[in-house]
Every structure is written in structure tokens, then in C-alpha cells.
């Protein structure tokens, strides 16, 4: 086959056959197609898209580029959750031990923060010693023993995605629905999950800040997941303001720990319990997600979810003394408060700008290879709809890097819009997208 011919075909809106896709993925993974040709092809896909058959073939070829885990000897249905990424989104840290303590096996393969969004692996690695790279046998043993593990993608797993994602990152081709769907679903299939609950974010802090594209992404993920025999559902949740009250790595892990101990912020717990209830449905534990809230609340209240988190941290090499005594955690060198410039109501909090402010303090990375500072972050004292008086603190910023503090304070001040008027608050959870229907998701009273 000739890569130039295939690039021209896609540029002109033609469809690939499964064998053409297989050849492209194999040849690129073996470094027989150079980056400049693959870049042109990715850009052609970005503009021309792919149909269902092409996306299915692409995802399968990506899975076959590496090793898949075989978890079939763990009899239970294994359910993972994936978020399309947001600001202050520490849900996975609470959800994996919570749902495992409710009797579901959760093999969770998570990612790192990039740009304004945070990553679960960075948050967990804020715990001294915590290992996100487990061998296959360690992963398997941990899942069999405690029902949950949160790890990163291994070197052997879906190498085509690692190579393609790195190239997309530097060629403006990340926001393409076929490329996103094949990337996410290839990893979920390869990790051995049977079912998947997706948290597709909508709003200014989300991957796409466009309703129509977000819904198209969610529907495509659900359709493709189910074609690939991965029982997939998606929940559309709002990301117009950060989830919970913290942004940063240790500070978010700390907030997740408090949530596991029964003191979680309402928005954080609503999203966590909603996703957890869907995971119970996917695992066949319940028929109707409404009953899941009570089951999971009981697990939280009993302390079993918190105990499961401690067990997970211990099995992954983390220092549990900081879980039991968080005050011994090293303190950031600098901290400063941003205060309200006038009295009124918090009308809007730009999640993307707040994420970028946390990044500039050291909590995130611009390039994949950048190091993160676990102590850098933002504690939000206020959320949208709260009233404030002039001079009242809005947020506390922490960092080891004094040069960035002034700019980050300005960014946070600008991201928080205070007005006399009351805001129109969007629903936190919008729609549940299933393989054959879409439902308005209702939270319990
Ligand atoms: N997350 C992924 O894993 N892949 C993408 O392409 C985008 C987000």
C-alpha cells in the first residue's frame, strides 16, 4: 500500500477499508511511516472524519498494536470509569475504592494532567511512594484482593495510541472525534474492562466548549464502545466551574480523602454517586441507578470506602501515614489569598482560567515531560451562587515558585465574576446516554 495514496483518498473524503487502516497503524507503529506523512493523514481525518466502520477498524488495530490484559479469570464484571477531563475533577480517587467496597471490580487506567485539566495519576503520586506503574501480575493480584487499582498505561499497552497521541498533541489534531474515541476506547478494551461509564464534561473547563460537539462525542463513544463489546454508557456533566473546592494534586487528594470520610462537597459527591450508581448497574448489581445512591451512601457512612482507599494506597506502595496524619505533609513555601474586589454574588467562575492559574503555580504541565509540584494549587472558598462582601477571601493559592504567584493571583481574580445579579446555574448532571436511548438524569431529592 502507498501512504501518499491513502492520504490523498482521505483528503478527498473517501473511506478507508479495514485492511488499509490495519496497514497504516501497523506501519506507523513499526516506524515505517514517517511522522510527516502520519501528520498529514491525521489532519485529513480531522477535516474529513471517519464513519463507524473506519472507527471500529482503527480502534481494533490500535488494540492489536500491543498487549491486552486478560482479566477473564476474575469472574465478576469489571467496570471502569473515564472522564474526558476537567478542573478539580478528583472523582476517580473516591469512586474506585467506593465502588470496589460495594462489591464491583474496578480496573482503572488513568491519565496525567495536560493543559488546564488535571490528571488522576498526578494526584495519586502526590502521596509519597504511590506507584502508578504496576506489573501485570501486581495489577491482577490487587484487583483479586481488594477489587480496585488505579494505574497508568503500560509501555506494552496500545503503543499505537502513545505514538499517535504524541503526534496529535503537536499537530493540532487532538480534538477529532474519531481520533479521541479510538484513543480512549482502545485503552479501555486493552486493560480488560467489560463495561465502562464515561463522564463527558460540558462547559468552559471541558475538552470541547460546544454542546453539539460534546453530545456527538458522547454518542459516538457509547456507540463505538458497544460495537467493541464494551458495555458503555455516558453521563454529560457540567464543567463550567471546578468540581469541589480544590485544584492541584495533593490538595485534591486531600479533598478526596475528606470525601471518603464523609465530608465531600455536594457537587463532587453528586457526580461521584451518579457515576458510581451507573457502575453498579453496569456490573449487574442493581437494575435501576436510582437505588445506587443509597447503597453507595451506606458504604461511605460505614467507613468501608475510606478503608478500601487506605488498602489501595498501601498495596500501591504509598505512605499511609500521610493519610492518617495529613498535617505532616510538607507545606508549600508561598501562599496568598485573592480577595473580592466588590460585594455581590459569584456569577461565574471560569474553570479553564482557574485550571491554567493552578498550572502556572506548578500543579500542571504544558509538555508531557514537565514535572509537577504536588503542593501547588488553589483552595476555593466560594462557588457560583455564593454571596461575598468586598475584601472577603475568594481563594488561597499555594506554590513553591514566587515568580508565578502575582500573575496567578490576577488570573484567579479575573476568572471569578462578581455581580449584583444572581447567576443562572446550569444543571450539574444533564443527560444519560445509553446505547438505545437518552434520558434526563435525576438526582435523588
Ligand atoms: N484522552 C485520551 O485518552 N485520548 C484522546 O484522544 C483524548 C483524551
DSSP letter, residue 361: I
Ligand 1 contacts (CB < 6 A) are 165, 174, 179-180, 183-184
pLDDT digits (tens, 9 = 90+) for 142-167: 999 999 999 998 889 999 999 999 89
Higher-confidence residue of 65 and 365: namely 65
- Residue 86 falls in which region: left (phi positive, over 0), alpha (psi -120 to 50) or beta: beta
8 Å CB contact between 47 and 13:
no
Name residues whose C-beta falls within 8 Å of residue 182's C-beta, 6 or more positions apart in sequence: 55, 58, 59, 62, 161, 224
Q: What is the mean pLDDT of residues 261-273?
A: 98
402 membership: H or E segment, kind and range:
helix 402-415
Give the pLDDT score at 39. Answer: 97
The CATH architecture to which 3-49 belongs is Up-down Bundle (1.20)
Nearest CA to ligand 1 atom 2: 184
HEC string of 36-56 equals HHHHHHHHHHHHHCCCHHHHH
187 is catalytic: yes
Give the pLDDT score at 369. Answer: 80
Name residues whose C-beta falls within 8 Å of residue 92's C-beta, 6 or more positions apart in sequence: 81, 83, 108, 110, 120, 150
Which of 63, 89, 108, 111 is the best mutation target for the ligand 1 pocket, counting ligand atoms within 8 Å of the beta carbon and taking the most? Answer: 111
Q: What is the mean pLDDT of residues 377-398?
A: 98
Examine the pLDDT at 114 and tell me if it is beyond 80.
no
Examine the pLDDT at 191 and tell me if it is beyond 90.
yes
Give the pLDDT score at 181. Answer: 98
Examine the pLDDT at 370 and tell me if it is beyond 90.
no
8 Å CB contact between 120 and 150:
yes
Give the pLDDT score at 375. Answer: 97
Name residues whose C-beta falls within 8 Å of residue 332's C-beta, 6 or more positions apart in sequence: 373, 375, 376, 398, 399, 400
Cβ-based neighbour number of residue 227 at 10 Å: 17
Task: Give the count of alpha carbons within 13 A of 341, CB side only.
Answer: 10
Planar angle of CA 343, 349, 354, nearest 5 degrees: 120
DSSP letter, residue 134: -
8 Å CB contact between 309 and 147:
no
258 is catalytic: no
Domain 330-419: which topology? Aldehyde Oxidoreductase; domain 3 (3.90.1170)
Examine the pLDDT at 170 and tell me if it is beyond 90.
no
Q: What is the mean pLDDT of residues 368-378?
A: 90
pLDDT digits (tens, 9 = 90+) for 238-256: 999 999 999 999 999 999 9
Residue 207 pLDDT class (50, 70, 90 cuts): confident
Higher-confidence residue of 278 and 117: namely 278
Residue 288 pLDDT class (50, 70, 90 cuts): very high
Nearest CA to ligand 1 atom 6: 180
82 is catalytic: yes
Give the pLDDT score at 157. Answer: 94
Q: How many residues can be counted in the chain? A: 445
Which of 183, 185, 224 is the best mutation target for the ligand 1 pocket, counting ligand atoms within 8 Å of the beta carbon and taking the most? Answer: 183
Nearest-angstrom CA–CA distance, 310 and 306: 6
Give the pLDDT score at 224. Answer: 98
pLDDT digits (tens, 9 = 90+) for 21-59: 999 999 999 999 999 999 999 999 999 999 999 999 999
8 Å CB contact between 398 and 407:
no
Give the pLDDT score at 366. Answer: 77
Examine the pLDDT at 199 and tell me if it is beyond 90.
yes
Domain 79-324+428-440: which topology? Pyrimidine Nucleoside Phosphorylase; Chain A, domain 2 (3.40.1030)
Query: The C-alpha cell of 123 is what?
Result: 494526584
Examine the pLDDT at 416 and tell me if it is beyond 80.
yes
- Positions of CATH 3.90.1170.30 in the chain: 330-419
Which one is catalytic: 187, 189, 201, 375? 187
Q: What is the mean pLDDT of the chain?
A: 96
Examine the pLDDT at 209 and tell me if it is beyond 90.
no
- Positions of CATH 3.40.1030.10 in the chain: 79-324+428-440
Give the pLDDT score at 115. Answer: 80
Examine the pLDDT at 231 and tell me if it is beyond 90.
yes
Examine the pLDDT at 317 and tell me if it is beyond 90.
yes
219 is catalytic: no
C-alpha torsion sign, points 183, 185, 191, 197? positive
Amino acid at each position: 500500500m502507498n501512504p501518499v495514496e491513502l492520504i490523498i483518498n482521505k483528503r478527498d473524503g473517501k473511506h478507508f477499508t479495514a485492511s488499509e487502516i490495519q496497514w497504516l497503524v501497523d506501519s506507523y507503529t513499526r516506524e515505517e511511516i514517517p511522522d510527516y506523512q502520519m501528520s498529514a493523514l491525521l489532519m485529513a481525518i480531522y477535516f474529513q472524519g471517519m464513519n463507524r466502520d473506519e472507527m471500529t477498524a482503527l480502534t481494533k488495530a490500535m488494540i492489536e498494536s500491543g498487549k491486552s490484559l486478560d482479566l477473564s479469570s476474575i469472574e465478576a464484571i469489571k467496570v471502569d470509569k473515564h472522564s474526558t477531563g476537567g478542573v478539580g475533577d478528583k472523582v476517580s480517587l473516591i469512586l474506585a475504592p467506593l465502588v470496589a467496597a460495594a462489591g464491583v471490580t474496578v480496573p482503572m487506567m488513568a491519565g496525567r494532567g495536560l493543559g488546564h485539566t488535571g490528571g488522576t495519576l498526578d494526584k495519586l503520586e502526590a502521596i509519597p511512594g504511590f506507584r502508578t506503574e504496576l506489573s501485570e501480575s501486581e495489577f491482577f493480584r490487587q484487583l483479586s484482593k481488594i477489587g480496585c487499582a488505579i494505574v497508568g498505561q503500560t509501555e506494552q499497552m496500545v503503543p499505537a495510541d502513545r505514538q499517535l497521541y504524541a503526534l496529535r498533541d503537536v499537530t493540532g489534531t487532538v480534538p477529532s472525534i474519531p481520533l479521541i474515541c479510538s484513543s480512549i476506547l482502545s485503552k479501555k478494551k486493552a486493560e480488560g474492562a467489560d463495561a465502562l461509564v464515561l463522564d463527558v464534561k460540558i462547559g468552559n473547563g471541558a475538552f470541547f466548549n460546544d454542546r453539539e460537539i460534546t453530545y456527538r462525542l458522547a454518542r459516538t463513544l457509547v456507540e463505538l464502545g458497544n460495537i467493541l463489546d464494551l458495555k458503555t454508557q455516558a453521563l454529560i456533566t457540567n464543567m463550567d466551574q471546578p468540581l469541589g473546592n480544590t485544584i492541584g494534586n495533593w490538595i485534591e487528594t486531600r479533598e478526596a480523602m475528606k470525601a471518603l470520610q464523609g465530608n465531600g462537597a455536594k457537587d463532587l459527591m453528586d457526580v461521584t454517586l451518579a457515576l458510581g450508581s451507573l457502575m453498579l448497574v453496569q456490573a449487574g448489581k442493581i437494575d435501576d441507578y436510582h437505588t445506587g445512591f443509597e447503597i453507595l451512601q451506606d458504604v461511605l457512612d460505614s467507613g468501608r470506602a475510606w478503608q478500601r482507599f487506605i488498602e489501595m494506597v498501601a498495596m500501591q506502595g504509598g505512605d499511609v501515614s500521610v493519610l492518617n496524619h495529613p498535617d505532616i505533609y510538607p507545606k508549600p513555601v508561598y501562599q496568598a489569598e485573592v480577595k473580592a474586589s466588590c460585594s455581590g454574588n459569584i456569577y461565574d467562575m471560569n474553570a479553564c482560567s482557574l485550571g491554567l492559574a493552578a498550572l502556572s503555580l506548578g500543579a500542571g504541565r504544558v509538555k508531557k515531560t514537565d514535572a509537577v509540584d504536588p503542593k501547588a494549587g488553589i483552595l476555593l472558598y466560594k462557588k457560583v451562587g455564593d454571596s461575598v462582601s468586598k475584601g472577603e477571601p475568594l481563594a488561597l493559592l499555594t506554590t513553591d515558585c514566587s515568580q508565578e504567584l502575582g500573575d496567578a493571583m490576577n488570573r484567579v481574580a479575573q476568572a471569578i465574576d462578581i455581580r449584583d445579579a444572581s447567576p443562572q446555574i446550569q444543571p450539574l448532571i444533564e443527560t444519560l446516554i445509553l446505547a438505545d436511548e437518552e434520558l434526563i438524569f435525576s438526582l435523588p431529592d
